Amino acid sequence: LNSFMFEYKGIYFYTGSTTPEIIDSLEHMEIRDSDVFLVTYPKSGTIWTQQVLNLIMHERHRNGLEHIDNMTRAPWIEYNLHNDAFNSRQSPRLFTSHLPYYLMPKDLRFKRAKIIYVYRNPKDVLVSFYHFHKLYQKLEVTLEWETFLGLFLSGRVLHGSWFDHIKGWYTHKEDYNILFMTYEELKKDLRSAVIKICNFLDIKLNDDAVDTVVDKSSFKNMKQDPLANYKFISEKFLDFEKGEFLRKGTIGDWKNRMTVAQNEKFDKVYMEKMKDLPIKFFWDINDEEQ
Ligand code: A3P
List beta partners, residue 96: 38, 76
Q: Which of 245, 233, 46 is nearest to 131 (CA)?
A: 245
Q: Which residues line ligand 1 (CB under 6 A)?
A: 40, 42-48, 124, 128, 131, 187, 217-219, 222, 246-249, 253
Residues 173-185 have pLDDT tens digits of 999 999 999 999 9
Q: Which of 223, 221, 201, 246 is nearest to 92 (CA)?
A: 201
Distance from C-alpha of 186 to C-alpha of 93, rounded to nearest angstrom = 22
Distance from C-alpha of 192 to C-alpha of 268, rounded to nearest angstrom = 34
Nearest CA owner, ligand 1 atom 27? 249
Give long-range contacts, CB 8 A cutoff, 24+ apart: 4-12. Answer: 4/138, 4/139, 5/158, 9/102, 9/103, 10/100, 10/160, 10/164, 11/99, 11/100, 11/103, 11/159, 11/160, 12/156, 12/157, 12/158, 12/159, 12/160
Q: Which atom of ligand 1 is nearest to the CA of 228?
A: 20
Give the global pTM.
0.93
Quick one: CA dihedral 170, 176, 180, 183, positive or negative? Answer: negative
**Local structure of 115: helix, strand or coil:** strand
**Local structure of 7: helix, strand or coil:** strand
Per-residue pLDDT, 101: 97
Helix and strand totals (H; E) in the chain? 13, 6
Distance from C-alpha of 171 to C-alpha of 213, rounded to nearest angstrom = 31
Q: Give 45 Cα–ligand 1 centroid separation in angstroms.
A: 5
Buried-state track 274-283, b at ≥16 Cβ within 10 A, e below 16: eeeeeeebeb
98 is catalytic: yes
Per-residue pLDDT, 136: 73
Q: Give 110 Cα–ligand 1 centroid separation in angstroms.
A: 32
Q: Which of 213, 203, 168 is nearest to 92 (CA)?
A: 203
Residues of the chain with pLDDT under 50: 288-290
Is residue 37 within 8 A of residue 114, CB to CB? The reply is: yes
Beta strands, E only, 16-55: 36-40
Q: Give 43 Cα–ligand 1 centroid separation in angstroms.
A: 7
Q: Give 246 Cα–ligand 1 centroid separation in angstroms.
A: 5
Per-residue pLDDT, 161: 97
Per-residue pLDDT, 245: 76
Choice among 58, 61, 67, 98 that is catalytic: 98
DSSP string, 187-240: HH-HHHHHHHHHHHHT----HHHHHHHHHHTSHHHHHT-GGGGTTTS-TTTB-T
